[in-house]
Chains A and B, each alone.
Chain A
Amino acid sequence: MPNLESLLDIGLNHYLIVSAALFCIGMAGVLVRRNVLVILMCIELMLNAVNLSFVAFSHYSENINGQVMVFFVMTIAAAEAGVGLALAVTIFKKFKEVNIRFFEQLKG
């Protein structure tokens, strides 16, 4: 049972729990939502959760390599958002719709 002292002494665990909650919220969004743009936003949420745990580990183990990884993850996330949005624009031009329900007949 967590007592008041462990709640007030902020450690690595607290950050990891917040990161896990953020990841799960993003995952629920990807599973439940039907809008391509909102799904992309939820993927960004998940990547941010991973970044938060990287930074927390880096701070509490006093090892700066974790922050380099965050740098790389951020760049990849920006690239992914760019390509994803370009694909969304292309699909929207063809179907006039962003709901993934309508993308069943994706053919050449």
Chain B
Amino acid sequence: MDLSVILFYGLSLIVLFFALSVVVSDNPVYSALYLAITMVSLSFVYFLLQAYFIAGVQLIVYAGAVMVLFVMVLMMFDLKKEKDSFSKGRISNLLKVSSVGLLLGLIAGAVRMSTDLMSLSGMSHGKEGLGNTTKDLAILLYTDYVFAFELLGVLLLLIAVGAVAVSRIKGGTHA
């Protein structure tokens, strides 16, 4: 029994359990808390996969910035435990959940069937690891992907202006 095996199963169980709690919890504040726990444990999974920079960014961006945004909006709405948190209609809900289950089974089956294909295409099963990934990532980001990176900066500026503009709309067709 390897330590990484125990870590993988423990972290996966935590991630899936709290993700399920996000969906089934009645109180949106608890949902936000469970989502934060899911994000933090996912960043540990990234550590396990030796993606250290991504793990740090996950902690800062998701568990930090995005969750603070969600919790602030929740506090502003002052939501108590709500009545109709789930959609009505037992049959339609059953259909929705069973279609999602079908999708999960389909993906799991596809993954299992394609095991031989993926091992054929020259994957070395990650035994050696990628080494100093942060430096490689930075070099790649500023050479091959520099145009996309700059475009992302423009997008973020656009989003910042747009979010302020949208939240100042008073109603009516002209803001």
Contacts and interface: CB of A to CB of B under 8 A. Distances in A.
Interface in A29-88: 29, 31-35, 37-38, 40-42, 44-45, 48, 51-52, 55-56, 58-62, 64-65, 67-68, 70-72, 74-79, 81-83, 85-88
Interface of A: 8, 10-18, 20-29, 31-35, 37-38, 40-42, 44-45, 48, 51-52, 55-56, 58-62, 64-65, 67-68, 70-72, 74-79, 81-83, 85-90, 92, 94, 98-99, 101, 108
Determine chain B's interface SS by DSSP, over half rule. helix
A32 B86 contact: yes
B49 A13 contact: no
Query: In which size bucket is the chain B interface?
Result: 35 or more
Contact of B87 (A34, A59, A65): A34
B129 to A, nearest CB: 8
A44 B66 contact: yes
Contacts, number: 220
Contacts of A21: 16, 104
A64 to B, nearest CB: 5
